[in-house]
Every structure is written in structure tokens, then in C-alpha cells.
Amino acid sequence: MKNDPGYKMKTITIETHFSIFESIQELPKDIQRLMLEAISTRKTAYAPYSNFKVGVALELDNGEIILGSNQENAAYPSGLCAERVAVFYAGAKYPEAKITKMAISAASENTTTGAPIPPCGACRQSIAEYEIKQNSPIEIYFMGEIGSIYKSDSLKNLLPLLFDKKFL
């Protein structure tokens, strides 16, 4: 079919947009507080294998702040990323609340992480489930140990062709 001169392949273009803050001080005050919570929580991570620590702070529409850090295990698939720790706890503790904002900070014990570190694929899928469930976007701010912070207005910006219940 591709060799047929009349064949016209269709293409789609997907664009993502991020706001970039050069430092924590440039963030709105409420997000500064949330990011500082994520940085502090990062220090509670249990990461003896990867030496890569991640902290997350979620803000819920009821005003609650939920914290999470990554928790590793010698049987690697048994560990859990910080984002899922926080999102799943929020879903269990406050099932009717909506997640409005998420701050993520990641740091390696082996090198300084200066680039913003976004959620991994599994975490993106888990966050997507909650964004779809609550029918409202989740603002996601992410950074490394130092440097710029990226803001995504929605998880859909990080995972534009997401898999959800409509495919089941």
C-alpha cells in the first residue's frame, strides 16, 4: 500500500507545553511551599539500590497535603515510586478529594541532578487514572535536586496518547 503512488499517509502532530521557572523563588508561594515539602520528603526515601531519591507533595481540593517518597525493595518490582505512593495514599485516605497540584523533586546520591526529572511511565499512567477519575487536570511541577522547575498544566501534557478505561 505504501508503494502505491496514490497512497497518502496521514500524520498527527502532538505538542506539549511547559512553563519553566528558573528557581523555587520564582514559583507562586503556594507552589514554593509544596516543592519544599517534596524536597524534604525526598530525604525519607528508601533507595539503597538506585541511590536515587524522589519526594512528592500533593495538594488536594480539601486542603490536605499528601507526601510520598520512593520505597525500593531487593525484589525490584516490589518497590514503589514516590508519585504512586502519594497518589495511592490520597486515593485511599480521601477517595472523594481531587488532586489539584503535585510537586516532585528527585536527587541522585551519585551525581547532582540539575535537570527537571518528570514522573516515569508507570507513574504517568497512575496519575492519568486519577486525572480521568476526577475529571479535572492535575498541575505537575517537577525538578531535579537543583535548577529549573517545569510545570505541566495536566498529566495529558506528559502522556498525550494515554490508555484509559474507554479502551477496555
**Active site members:** 83
Which whole-number Å values give the CA distances from 133 to 74, 91, 96, 127, 157, in the listed order? 33, 11, 10, 10, 17
Q: CA–CA separation, 79 vs 17, rounded Å?
A: 31
Q: CA–CA separation, 125 vs 80, rounded Å?
A: 14
Q: CA–CA separation, 139 vs 141, rounded Å?
A: 7
Q: CA–CA separation, 123 vs 138, rounded Å?
A: 13
| Residue located via cell numbers 497518502 | 8
Q: CA–CA separation, 16 vs 4, rounded Å?
A: 34
Pull the grid cell for residue 149.
522547575
| Length of the chain counted residue by residue | 168
